Chain A
């Protein structure tokens, strides 16, 4: 580990720090500075995408085959097919530049001004969430439709539970398990710099923005640093997801 780090940093560096080629700043320090913006963006967006993803998936599954289901399916596909950076540029142009309803990019610290913090983040949150809402909605819809035909659902109905109770307590609980796995990995990915496109488009000076900015100058050390930082988050969250999985689904607990 020590040796690998040394190989990455190079011999010419006495402090054993990863330095940027262009600015000579410590990469680890710069990544730390980007963390508040990245975390604010990720946490807010993930709340939105999880809430609306589940809502959309349940509505589509309950009304499967009807008009609302078809409309949701098509909208979800459109959402999945849109490149997030293009959606960001377009919303920023129409809502923040042509009509100045929202602030034009930049990040305001949560501790500095909570209202401005949320106001500045509404557009990036929504843009980042659109892709995942469509994706989660589709996955959840298909899971619910698979689960609804299982024997235990019929048993639950037969013993007199209402449709609503069966849906929330039996079907949804089982259908959400794959969504939890997806969410853990996506959340880790975005937290680990996966929101690089959204951060770049909205000028949010987070970890991803730092990598994108370094990329403009072909400054490799920050890119390597951010990539490793992202990998660290994914490994960490994968472990947490596996543990949470065992809590949710008693069938896979070690005996």
Chain B
């Protein structure tokens, strides 16, 4: 027999002992811990978060892939080059002709998978550029624009809504009318109008200069267009929080408005802002792809998933992978964010009504 197990020893201080037992049984748990425990059980959400991380890592490693596997850059043309496939020399872009009754100006090489030593894994486009390399570089741009515009959009919308919801009165009136103004325009059309106008000359006002080919333009356009869609529901939440007792108590204590906004209202918004952020990234990636597809987003030769689909559209009959691959990348990325965002919402607040609706 070893030593008796600790905790079974008899002491005279019963009250302290009971308190100890009770302390073990009832533990104060923060809402964030409870949410994390709910989220942890949602394996599907985690699997899709993993998928998103894999996509982000793959796109982040684009330069390594380009220099060590594909041996080319994202914008390098290889129209007149040849590559070795199974020991034979094959031109990257062959002259076109009538294919399936359609006149094709030139025919780039199709997907080589691993036959060409990692070169032209998904084939080449009409300019002889490696599509796999462009897919990864394009993914970098699409993700940077999606995440960047979501960040800007959320920060501005939360700031505006905090000011509107807290102060009320004419400030609220002005900001709400500003939101209404955005609601009156179809998102894509407003994005196109702004994106195309800025794509011609760039932005040169208020001492800020953005060149016309910069990916800052689609980032800012998308965040600007969607501010109202995030701001309105958040303002609604602030209006109801504003009436709660703890805000009244803070005012009674003499806290300044700024302090109440940051330390009383903002923590209560954190969970819905987090959910919004995830879903808005997904949404913005789709909007970016749509704008770039139409020519009002990322400008050539810079790659993005939207421009890649547009580039591939002319060759869809002979080389369908040019358009299929970037589309699949978008679907997987957006789906993973949507599923994870859903799981996050269920975990943080099972009764929440936070939804992106437009």
Point out residues on A near B: beta carbons under 8 Å. 77-78, 80-86, 89-90, 92-93, 97-98, 139, 182, 185, 189, 192-194, 196-197, 200, 211-212, 215-216, 218, 220, 223-224, 226-227, 230-231, 234-235, 238
Contact = CB atoms under 8 A, between A and B. Distances in A.
A227 B196 contact: no
B327 A89 contact: yes
A89 B309 contact: yes
B185 A230 contact: yes
Given A78-B331, A86-B323, A89-B313, A215 B296 contact: yes
B139 to A, nearest CB: 14
A192 B335 contact: no
B290 A89 contact: no
Interface string B177-204: 0000001111111101100110110000
B295 interface: yes
Contacts of A194: 186-189
The 3 A-B residue pairs with the shortest CB-CB distance in the complex, in nearest-first order: A86-B327, A81-B334, A81-B335
A90 B323 CA distance: 8
A77 B339 contact: yes
A234 B290 contact: no
Contact of A193 (B186, B295, B306): B186
B356 to A, nearest CB: 10
25 contacts: A78-B335, A81-B330, A83-B286, A83-B306, A83-B330, A84-B290, A86-B331, A89-B313, A93-B316, A97-B316, A182-B357, A194-B187, A194-B188, A196-B192, A196-B294, A215-B294, A215-B295, A218-B200, A223-B192, A227-B186, A227-B190, A231-B184, A231-B185, A231-B186, A235-B184
B189 A89 contact: no
A185 B335 CA distance: 24
Contacts of B270: none
Given A89-B316, A192-B186, A81 B323 contact: no
A234 B183 contact: yes
Nearest to A86: B327
B282 interface: yes
Interface string B315-344: 011001001101100110011001100100
